[in-house]
Amino acid sequence: MASRISDVKAIVKHAAEQAGFDLSGVASATDAPELNHFPAWIAAGHAGEMKYMEARDDHGGLKRASLSRVAPWARSVIVCAINYNTDHPYSTEGRDSNRGWISRYAWSREDYHDAVLRRLKQVEAALRQAAPAELEPSLTTRSYVDTGPIVERVYAKYSGVGWIGKNTCLIHQKKGSWLFLGVILASLELEPDLPAPDRCGTCTRCIEACPTNAILAPYQLDSNKCISYLTIEKRGSIAQDLRAGMGRHIFGCDICQDVCPWNRKAPASTAPEFEPRAGLVNPALAWLAEISVEEFRSAFSGSPIRRTKRAGLRRNVAIAMGNSGNTEFLPVLDRLACDEDESVAESARWAKARLVQSTE
Ligand code: SF4
Ligand code: SF4
Segment 7-66, tens digit of pLDDT: 999 999 999 999 999 999 999 999 989 888 888 888 888 888 888 888 888 888 888 888
Atom 2 (ligand 2) nearest CA: 203
Q: Is the CB of 167 under 6 A from ligand 2?
A: yes
| Averaged confidence pLDDT in the chain | 93
CA–centroid distance, 279 to ligand 1, in Å, is 23
Atom of ligand 2 nearest to the CA of 256: 1
Tell me, in angstroms, the distance from the centre of ligand 1 to residue 221's CA.
9
Q: Where are the domains of the chain?
A: 5-90+103-186, 205-263+278-359
Buried b (16+ CB within 10 A) or exposed e, 12-34: bbebbeebbbbbbbbbbbbebee
Task: Please indicate whether residue 40 or residue 185 has the higher confidence score (pLDDT).
Answer: 185
- Let me know: does 106 contact 130? Beta carbons within 8 Å: no
Q: Which atom in ligand 1 lies closest to the alpha carbon of residue 209?
A: 7
Query: Considering 57, 114, 146, 258, which one is annotated as catalytic?
Result: 146
pLDDT at residue 360 tops 80: no
d(Cα 95, Cα 358) in Å, to the nearest integer? Answer: 17
Ligand nearest to the CA of 230: 1
| Residue ranges lining ligand 1, Cβ < 6 Å | 167, 210, 212, 214-215, 221, 226-228, 253, 255-256
Cross-strand partners of 108: 276
Dihedral sign from CA coordinates of 269, 207, 52, 63: positive
- Say how many Å lie between the CA of residue 222 and the centre of ligand 1: 10
How many residues are given for the chain? 360
Is-catalytic flag, 146? yes
Q: What pLDDT, on the 0 to 100 scale, is given for residue 3?
A: 52
Q: Distance, CA 350 to ligand 1 centroid (Å)? A: 22
- Assign 1 a pLDDT band (cuts: 50, 70, 90): very low
Residue 55: name the closest of 183, 197, 151 by CA: 151
Q: Where does the pLDDT of residue 242 fall: very low under 50, low under 70, confident under 90, or very high at 90 and above?
A: very high
pLDDT digits (tens, 9 = 90+) for 258-279: 999 999 999 999 899 999 998 9
Output the CA torsion 110→126→71→137 (10° steps). 150
pTM of the model: 0.93
* Residues contacting residue 258 through CB under 8 Å, at least 6 positions apart: 90, 91, 92, 209
Q: Is the per-residue pLDDT at 134 higher than 80?
A: no
Checking if the pLDDT of 334 tops 90, the result is: yes
- CA dist 103 and 106 (Å) reads 6
Considering every ligand atom, which ligand is closest to the CA of 206?
2
Lowest-confidence range among 25-39, 165-179, 190-204?
25-39
- The amino acid occupying position 131 is A
Could you tell me how far CA 253 lies from the centroid of its own chain? 10
**What are 67-97's pLDDT values in tens digits?**
988 899 999 999 999 999 999 989 888 889 9
Ligand number, closest to the Cα atom of 218: 2
* Cα–Cα dist 274/252, whole Å: 16
- How far does residue 214's CA lie from ligand 1's centre (Å)? 6
Q: Does 135 have pLDDT greater than 80?
A: no
pLDDT score at 52: 82
- Mean pLDDT, range 330-351, rounded to an integer: 97
Q: What are phi and psi of 283, to 5 degrees?
A: -70, 150
Nearest-atom index, ligand 1, CA of 168:
5
Q: How many CA atoms lie within 13 A of 147 on its CB side?
A: 10
Taking residues 225-246, what's their average pLDDT? Answer: 96
d(CA 40, CA 150): 16
Pairwise CA distance, residues 21 & 104, whole Å:
18
